[in-house]
Structure 1
Amino acid sequence: MKNKRFLFLLSVFGLMTMTTDGENPPAKTVFAQYMKQAQTFADNFPREKAYLHFDNTSYYVGDTIWFKAYVTLAEKQMFSQISRPLYVELVDQTGHIADKQIIKLTQGEGNGQLVLPQSMLSGYYEVRAYTRWMLAFNEPQYFSRTFPIYQLSNSDKLERSITTYELNPSMENRPLETKEKLSVRFFPEGGQLVEGVTSQVAFKAESKNEGNIELSGTIYTKGGTAITSFETLHDGMGCFEYTPSAQPAVAKVDFQGKKYEFTLPQALPNGYVLSTVNNAGALLVKVSCNTATPQDTLAVFISHQGRPYVHQLISCRADAPQEFILPTRKLPAGVLQVSLINRAGNTLCERFVFANPRAPLQLSAEGLKEVYAPYAPIRCELQVRNAKGEPISGDVSVSIRDGIRSDYLEYDNNIFTDLLLTSDLKGYIHQPGYYFASPSPQKQMELDILLMVHGWRKYDISQAISTAPFIPLQLPEAQLVLNGQVKSTILKNKLKDIALSVIVKKDDQFITGGTVTDENGRFTIPVEDFEGTTEAVIQTRKVGKERNKDASILIDRNFSPAPRAYGYKELHPEWKDLTHWQQKAENFDSLYMDSIRKVEGLYVLDEVEIKSKRRQGSNMATKINEKSIDAYYDVRRSVDLLRDNGKIVTTIPELMEKLSPQFDWNRSNNELTYRQKPICYIMDNHILSETETQMMLTEVDGLASIIISKGTGGIDDDIIQNTKISEVSDSTGVDISQLDKYSVFYLVPLPRRDVLNKSQSAALGTRQTVIQGYTRALEYYSPAYPTRELYMDKVDKRRTLYWNPSVRTDANGKARIECYNNQYSTPLIIQAETMSKDGQIGSMTFETNGVD
């Protein structure tokens, strides 16, 4: 669909009211009209999905996260042409955005990287990706993946160390998944229980300290009579059959020596129960009710990604439940939404089911060895075929990584599981590939339970058939622009016909431009041709007059989704035990060392040094340490966010008042405290004097970040030594002998900003900011060792040995890949993913360990 037509439809489209010949049209006519309206809605508001393929599964501080982006139409699994910019964010454990990149999509594809600076904190970071159009609906959809980012290790041991920080609670933006020691939640099939109607009830058992747990228990009536027993089947989830009465039943369990009771949901006195059986390529749908339910004609709609494909009229009685069978081969693959709708267009019950896809593309790799020697060449041939065995030409994203030094999770997420399953479910899904490995009736049951527990109404059919017009929360972006609005600083009135001059610094040159606000005070600045981040100054003035000081420049760029809760397994990953892989590598090392000792001229190599480069032991546990950091703030991002919303921020005290409740500014004596302690300011590795402090407090536009520390560990000995004793006594006002009486503020200036000698504050009526353009995709560097004996003393600890977001297969569906190993003996893990132009997807994760 062309973007111009799409935008036109967005501006004028409103779902028509239903026309009928009488006041009470036949149910068949009502639901046929709903079907038509929902189809029209799906035609005019197609949704998008994003998936990122990464080069690795975990990273260290100082690494680079490489990724390939696939942006598709949610309904058809075809590359989307709706959006050009894709926003990729790195979100820290507290829920704050640590980095943000904008990827320029070409026909739905793009690639980029997130560089992890060595100054960042270790932790569990979320990478999420979305287009603006993905956030246009009431329930936003975006890609999300969590990675451990470990501290740097100076040894060759596999030290996976993450520091936990006892941060100020005000730092926490990310909600918690569960706060209870034991939580058992119940999910009636279809969404509700009805008195006297037998239902399937799914449940999920979680522990605060263990995550999903195995559990069993018994369901009792309110009076204490046992009804049925229950137990988990997989990943803390299970289900049981239950016929509710007016008084809700009670589930009783024993957990870690204690008894717990949980009350089941209250049953409705009348209503409907929706149930499904999905098996052998057929979907059985059943609707039941009790004798107190008024008789009515309803309809079951079966939809995929918001588009209804089938609807069936239902008129059930207590003594005559209604059911029908539908072959799933006639339906699209992936998550299907089964909705029970009444004549008023209200959704009464809802259930997710899964339709298995046709055979995906087949990816294979040939020519690989079981273990590779240090610096050895790696050569393989990648083959892509369709289900008929026919070769497929196209682009494949490929990662080859060190099998021992990279974390490995069986049944991990991939393009198949994400686009077809997890992107339509709520919450973190652990090892989604498990549900598709070795298909069986047991796996089908477990997948059904997963859909009952994690299913949610992402596609609201009631909205699609409503008579009210749909107003998107965001508009699609065919190109990258900066939208904004000018309002008066005091009265907050919209200022029309205000001229804006824009000065942008790019490549040591200044580019100027201008625009004028419309009748609503809005303006647009095109940035499609910009790359990276660019310093900019925007100045306002009334046309024909001097600069307008009474003006606030608001920029519309803060549309990131709210942080989600982490699943327990995301913070406690259970990587595969690779001890047997390591043993094979060590055995290979012995043979390898014997072989190179026989080669003339290689005795000069230091055998001890070579051994020190190999992995010594396996330390798979995360070490937990504590530091003195209490809070940290991205000043540039925080200031821009506040100013984008019309808040005036010109000094550090003004900023800190808005960011932290622990910060206090006593305006009567201008005293500043944090946690009721005076503040010691540090910058450039020394304690600031009182003069420097007063100067810095007004330089909010020159700072990159503020890190707040507590305790005596907050100040390094080097800082004390760099601070002259005379300065301490005469000008800083800080008693170094009693540092525990202070809160320590580390002030980090922006690059190339001499904040102590030049004012960076913005004048009224102007706006200093950073304009972000597209991220330039870098090329992954893979070193070559054509004569490996010459490189035996070269340090090469790469865990990702090869990354290419676009490997092109030829007419025979083949592509040859060549790279070199690092300094260790290791097996390999190869992951390749692809999506063809006609929507066929394929994914392969191949382990060389076990290759004959």
Structure 2
Amino acid sequence: MPVSIPRVLFTLLFFVPVLSWGQSLPSGSGPVQSFERYRQQALQEKLFVHTDQAFYLTGETMWFKIYYVDGSRHQPLDVSKVTYVELLDKEKKSVLQTKVALNPDGGNGNLFLPSSLSSGNYLLRAYTSWMKNFNADFFFEKTLTVVNPFKPLGLPLLRETTDYDVQLFPEGGNLVQGLPGKVAFKVADASGRGVAVQGWLVSGQNDTLTRFNSHKFGIGTFTLTPDEKMYRVVFRDRQGRTVTRPLPTVYPQGYTMRLDESSADQLTLTVRTNVPGASSVLLFAHTRNDIKVAEARPIQRETTFSIDKKKLGEGISHLTIFNADGKPVCERLYFKRPTQPLDISLKPNQPSYASRTKVTLDASVATAAQGRQAGLSMAVYRVDSLAETSSGNLLSYLWMTSDLQGRIESPDYYLQPGNEGVAQATDNLMLTYGWRRFRWEDVLNSPSPGKKQLKRLFTPEHNGLLIQGTVTDSLTGKPVPNIITYLSSVGKPIRLYVSRSDSSGRIRFEMQDFYGARNIVVQTNPKDSIYKIAITNPFSGTFSSTRLPALSVAESQTDQLLNRSVAMQVQATYWGDRVINYQYPPVDSSAFYGKPGESYLLDVYTRFPRMEEVLREYILGVMPRKKQGRFRLYVPNEPYRAIFEDPSLALLDGVPVFDMDKIIEFSPLKVKQIDVITNQFFIGPSLFPGVISFMTYKGDLAGFPLDARLLKLDYDGLQLQREFYSPRYDTPRQLSSRQPDGRTLLYWNPNLKTDAQGKGRAEFYTSDQTGTYVVEVNGLTTDGQAGSQRTLFEVKNSPK
């Protein structure tokens, strides 16, 4: 009988030692080792992006903070050093892209939303190079709304429809004739929001067998013991509109499972079957790849497993039942609410403020007693019917959203302190969503110790940005191995990288301190002119199955849109020159070869009209020679007082030049400095007999005629850090200034650190925009405790 869950290899039973019935699996046995090998070879990374808001106008800037953790234990990682961030439209076309540096505290950046964007819902996604080895469902995703106030909205006409998205999920995977089962359902509208419904289960003879109602977010359950194959489920919304769907297939033979909360500390898992000859079943449970339960029991018609909740990890656990043949026959999810999330408290010094007034906001976390400081990100923005959606909750994402397939409505609801209604809604959710971060085949097929490790196409960027490409034969298009390639970053400081193509023709350059938009030149030695180099787009070309809901803006929101649009334009007009301020990271400004053996500033010397005269007259470390009518440049082999037999590597602004006649003909008046390395020099896989580096005044090649066969292109490096600007009103003159302040985003801080007592403070000033403002904070400790918190305050007009 087919089962609608991932197929598990028969190999599993060979990993399980012979057990007496009810005996747990020993901790040192095969599955545990297999899981640990898989964890080491297939590290699961998680990213969470806290944006300052969830609603924007074009012309505004989106600010964001990136949290980067281990997917199993949620502890901060320091493996990948680059995050790729994209904004996708409804056609899954990338409209904005950037690369953000990661460090042990995560990363942060911004995206300016240009007026070329159309109004609509967009998908923000983020991932690392390593995450591209896995399904795009592993990427962080978040829906954002962008409205362009300078273009007609072009919204489609909303029609009354009963074409709801209705899904039915038998507990465990299947319905089996004669075996009692539970069926979960979810009814959602076109935007993905749950619809409250009543329902009826109708037999093939049109008899009503049971009635039921949705519980929360259009999700609910009903039970039945099927004795025929044809059933219908009828749903009716509050407006009286109905929709009918057939019940999932009822199989004549198979297995079912039922999970119940037998007590506050125990779960009861009941497995039933009508398969002739069924002898045993195995329960295998894990929480984010950590094995928690492995227990075998005999079965004839029914058997029961008792599961101690303490054995299951916090968050989502995956429960799978295998039959005696090692095949998966049932599975479902169970959620255990985190008992000790990071407790964040927020306390404004006043409940309301006048415009242009200082706000002092104290934030504290409750983990300071254990010596665990937290890193917080904080946004303060005006909330109204446009921006009523939360900008993101780190706690619910890590523990729930990131481990489920599909969009979850209001995930924060399920992490409330437990009560019967929340517990029922949470269990219903677990029945209607599928696990997305685990494949048995990957785990059980992971290589044993001593065998070749799994080969991944994309490697983690451990030390910074990787620029990758391929070398192919320009005639056949086939990849060419073992070819030396050179990449130069034109400009200052001088950077040169060397890579040898592998067996698949791939080349890889590990860039150091590569920030901002740069010009790069990639080439091979001209003697390899039949080879073609292509640089690979580092952004992923695969996409998740997420569907964006249609944009919905009500006529009643017109005034608020106008108000915010005017405020945005005021800011751009009066404050535009102050809000764009970048922080340049501390980088090594010296050339890649460090301190040269000889260095010459040509302006200090007599200027000659030809480069040959310059080299012969006072550049001691360079010996120009002619061979077969063409110039070659040699360097003395210090300290042996001999000349290298082979020509040295010549560079102009970091770009290798292989035709010395072009160097000789180049005007020395355009060259500011010449450095000479008078010994052997290693760069990557290559050894050069000395280096001669010519540097122009601006580092822009000064019109030097490069070889037409090389590849020259603009390439965006890591995003430069931009400072968030917030004006101050410390003096009476500033307070009485007639320059308007239209900020609706009052404060953004991606790196608010708490002290040893767990306290942090934010200070900022209100603007001229009155209304209700929300303070949203996310935070993470070094040991993986996550938390989120919100609070509100009012801004009113200043008294006259």
Say yes or no: does 1:538 pair with 2:542: no
In the alignment, residue 101 of structure 1 is paired with which amino acid?
A: T
In the alignment, residue 555 of structure 1 is paired with which amino acid?
A: T
Deviation at 1:786, TM superposition (A): 1.0
Aligned to 1:529: 513
Aligned to 2:422: 443
Say yes or no: does 1:117 pair with 2:114: yes
Aligned to 2:434: 455
Aligned to 1:753: none
The one-character-per-residue Cα deviations of 1:775-817 (angstroms, maximum 9, x if unpaired) are: 1222211111113564442222112111111112222222222
* Partner secondary structure for residue 37 of structure 1: helix
The one of 692, 698, 721 equivalent to 1:777 is 721
The one-character-per-residue Cα deviations of 1:755-789 (angstroms, maximum 9, x if unpaired) are: xxx9x9x9985434333321122221111111356
d(CA) in 2 for partners of 1:422, 1:225 = 39
d(CA) in 1 for partners of 2:444, 2:35 = 5
d(CA) in 2 for partners of 1:844, 1:87 = 27
The one of 102, 126, 132 equivalent to 1:129 is 126
Say yes or no: does 1:485 pair with 2:430: no
Distance change >3 Å, CA 362–CA 501, structure 1 → 2? closer
* Partner secondary structure for residue 435 of structure 2: coil
d(CA) in 2 for partners of 1:125, 1:228 = 41
In the alignment, residue 132 of structure 1 is paired with which amino acid?
A: S
What is the identity percentage for the equivalent residue pairs of Structure 1 and Structure 2? 24
Aligned to 1:646: none
Deviation at 1:539, TM superposition (A): 2.8
Aligned residues: 636
Distance change >3 Å, CA 130–CA 139, structure 1 → 2? closer
The one-character-per-residue Cα deviations of 1:655-677 (angstroms, maximum 9, x if unpaired) are: xxxxxxxxxxxxxxxxxxxxxxx
Contact 1:270 1:289 in 2 (8 A): no
Distance change >3 Å, CA 850–CA 315, structure 1 → 2? farther
Aligned to 1:7: none
Aligned to 1:424: 403
Deviation at 1:464, TM superposition (A): 1.5
d(CA) in 2 for partners of 1:213, 1:136 = 37
The one-character-per-residue Cα deviations of 1:144-188 (angstroms, maximum 9, x if unpaired) are: 1111112247xxxxxxx872489xxxxxxxxxxxx9823321011
The one-character-per-residue Cα deviations of 1:712-757 (angstroms, maximum 9, x if unpaired) are: xxxxxxxxxxxxxxxxxxxxxxxxxxxxxxxxxxxxxxxxxxxxxx
d(CA) in 2 for partners of 1:843, 1:223 = 52
d(CA) in 2 for partners of 1:440, 1:23 = 40
d(CA) in 1 for partners of 2:123, 2:379 = 20
Say yes or no: does 1:199 pair with 2:181: yes
In the alignment, residue 328 of structure 2 is paired with which amino acid?
A: T
Distance change >3 Å, CA 819–CA 428, structure 1 → 2? same
Structure 1 or 2, whichever has the larger Rg, is 2
The one of 157, 168, 172 equivalent to 1:186 is 168
d(CA) in 1 for partners of 2:386, 2:155 = 25
For 1:243-282, what aligned pairs fall within 5 Å after superposition?
243-254=225-236, 260-278=243-261, 281-282=264-265
* Partner secondary structure for residue 372 of structure 1: strand
Contact 1:552 1:765 in 2 (8 A): no
Distance change >3 Å, CA 474–CA 525, structure 1 → 2? closer
For 1:128-527, what aligned pairs fall within 5 Å after superposition?
128-138=125-135, 140-152=137-149, 163-164=153-154, 181-208=163-190, 211-254=193-236, 260-278=243-261, 281-318=264-301, 321-342=302-323, 345-386=326-367, 393-404=373-384, 407-409=387-389, 413-437=392-416, 439-466=418-445, 471-472=455-456, 474-479=458-463, 480-506=465-491, 511-527=495-511
Contact 2:293 2:311 in 1 (8 A): no
In the alignment, residue 54 of structure 1 is paired with which amino acid?
A: T
Aligned to 1:837: 782
Deviation at 1:193, TM superposition (A): 1.6
d(CA) in 1 for partners of 2:725, 2:506 = 44
Alignment TM-score, normalising by the size of structure 1: 0.67
Deviation at 1:572, TM superposition (A): 4.2
Contact 2:58 2:149 in 1 (8 A): yes
In the alignment, residue 823 of structure 1 is paired with which amino acid?
A: D
Structure with greater strand share of residues: 2
Contact 2:83 2:126 in 1 (8 A): yes
Contact 2:381 2:747 in 1 (8 A): yes
d(CA) in 2 for partners of 1:133, 1:345 = 32
Contact 2:101 2:719 in 1 (8 A): yes
In the alignment, residue 425 of structure 2 is paired with which amino acid?
A: E
* Partner secondary structure for residue 295 of structure 1: coil
Distance change >3 Å, CA 494–CA 164, structure 1 → 2? same
Deviation at 1:540, TM superposition (A): 3.6
The one-character-per-residue Cα deviations of 1:640-660 (angstroms, maximum 9, x if unpaired) are: xxxxxxxxxxxxxxxxxxxxx
d(CA) in 1 for partners of 2:731, 2:291 = 61
Deviation at 1:265, TM superposition (A): 1.1
Distance change >3 Å, CA 241–CA 824, structure 1 → 2? same
Aligned to 1:820: 765
Distance change >3 Å, CA 209–CA 70, structure 1 → 2? closer
The one-character-per-residue Cα deviations of 1:416-444 (angstroms, maximum 9, x if unpaired) are: 10000111111111211122335321111
d(CA) in 1 for partners of 2:722, 2:15 = 63
In the alignment, residue 275 of structure 1 is paired with which amino acid?
A: R
Deviation at 1:43, TM superposition (A): 4.3
Alignment TM-score, normalising by the size of structure 2: 0.72
d(CA) in 2 for partners of 1:576, 1:181 = 26
Distance change >3 Å, CA 511–CA 784, structure 1 → 2? same
Structure 1 alignment gaps of length 5 or more: 1-14, 154-160, 167-178, 583-612, 619-757
Contact 1:413 1:433 in 2 (8 A): no
Deviation at 1:535, TM superposition (A): 2.5
Distance change >3 Å, CA 763–CA 304, structure 1 → 2? farther
Aligned to 1:75: 72
